[in-house]
Amino acid sequence: MSGNSMKIVADGNIPFVKECFSSLGEVKVVGGRKITQALCADADILLVRSITQVGEELLAGSRVRFVGTATIGFDHVDADYLRKRNIGFASAPGSNANSVAEYVVAALLQVGQKYGITLDGKSIGIVGVGNVGSRVAQKAAALGIKVFLNDPPLARQKSNRKERGDRREENINKGYLPIEELFDCDFITLHTPLTFEGDDKTFHLADKKFFKLLKTGCVFLNTSRGNVADTDALKKTIWEGKLQAAVLDVWENEPDIDTELLQMVDIATPHIAGYSFDGKAAGMIMIYKAACEHFALKAKFDVESFLPLPIVPQLKINPQVGNEQEVLLNAVEKIYDIKSDDLRMRQILNEPTEKRVKFFDRLRKEYPIRREFQNTEVILENSCKILEGKLAGIGFKLSNG
């Protein structure tokens, strides 16, 4: 099949999808929730993000030969159905892992400021140590936080991940622990896929028992999937004062979220932790190259073909203004101010009940461009080795200038 004869249906929330995939055929861009069976009927390629459910109901009778999701997870895709129909499939594992890890860094620094918590020397339990969780571990360790890991599937593989010997990982406990051994940590953060059965089922992993066993004063974060945490159990735990703070980027029943829970948490965002522009573009290119390979076509583009110049190419910092953690927070806020996302999210409460679902979706669709720390070069006006190590460890480029 020649590229130019193909028809492509794509979620408009994938950046540059039309510019890129037009090299393969005619691209029709629509909202993710507006992708219907009728639209897919004569399409050869379907490109989605997480809000589109892909399976027999959507694709029955269509001529779709390749499905790509520009997301790291694919619980919204019936991969078995695609396999049986001999439909090619690709996701974008790892594409937004750094974006989510930077979100967690921003959240930790923000919560630290709000409650006077010094991060250095505290402990964090990371549940799920795949592409995202491992990045979170590296950045948390760089901040001086002691890292404890839980990942039963990886534990069964006898922790055979390659050791990098990176000094930034000195704080990471390399063994995979039973989840019960993470409950005494100061922070606990979820980075698992959503699964509904088997020994590693994650649906309502954070349930009534989970929250009951957590250390009093723990800070709870979830950027994985909303259904990994039981909403009622979380609300009860917050209401009882068990948690110091809660940070939620994902919600049960998205986009029809529990607005009572929204009012109870310290940081609330609309499932955008992985929405850095860099991560989105990387995810798009990953499925583009997979589609090219599937149809034996030559790829014309790479991620560098689309990424614009950094919004903040350079940042001058005086390490003597404020304590170390304040300097880090100020640097991070120049690139990503998580408070702005939280503020926009809370405006959903001003909407009539019947309009809140669309408002949530619009927050995601119209999400402003956010670039990753790696695009910004930091110049320290005075040398400070410890601060330099932390800035580099969370992803900034350092300059000797």
Q: Tokens for 399, please give them.
A: 């300059």
State how far the Cα of 392 lies from the Cα of 246, in Å rounded to an integer. Answer: 27
Per-residue pLDDT of the chain (401 residues; tens, 9 = 90+): 445 579 999 999 898 999 999 999 999 999 999 999 999 999 999 999 989 999 999 999 999 999 999 998 898 999 999 999 999 999 999 999 999 999 999 999 999 999 999 999 999 999 999 999 999 999 999 999 999 999 999 998 854 444 444 444 556 666 899 999 999 999 999 999 999 999 999 999 999 999 999 999 999 999 999 999 999 999 999 999 999 999 999 999 999 999 999 999 999 999 999 999 999 999 999 999 999 999 999 999 999 999 999 999 999 998 877 799 999 999 999 999 999 999 999 999 999 999 999 999 999 989 999 999 999 999 998 888 999 999 999 999 998 65
180 is catalytic: no
254 is catalytic: yes
CATH class assigned to 3-91+276-305:
alpha beta
CA distances from 257 to 3, 148, 224, 254, 396 (A): 41, 31, 15, 5, 34
Tell which CATH architecture fits domain 314-353+365-399: 2-Layer Sandwich (3.30)
What CATH number was assigned to the domain covering residues 97-268?
Answer: 3.40.50.720
Instruction: Given the residues 49, 135, 168, 225, select the one marked as catalytic.
Output: 225
Instruction: Given the residues 49, 65, 168, 254, select the one marked as catalytic.
Output: 254
State how far the Cα of 110 lies from the Cα of 121, in Å rounded to an integer. Answer: 17
Q: Do domains 97-268 and 314-353+365-399 have the same CATH topology?
A: no
State how far the Cα of 204 lies from the Cα of 210, in Å rounded to an integer. Answer: 9
Instruction: Given the residues 65, 135, 191, 271, select the one marked as catalytic.
Output: 271
- Residue among 50, 73, 51, 77 nearest 64 (CA): 77
Q: Tokens for 316, please give them.
A: 């001058």
Domain ranges of the chain: 3-91+276-305, 97-268, 314-353+365-399
- Torsion, CA 393, CA 394, CA 395, CA 399, rounded to 10: -60
65 is catalytic: no
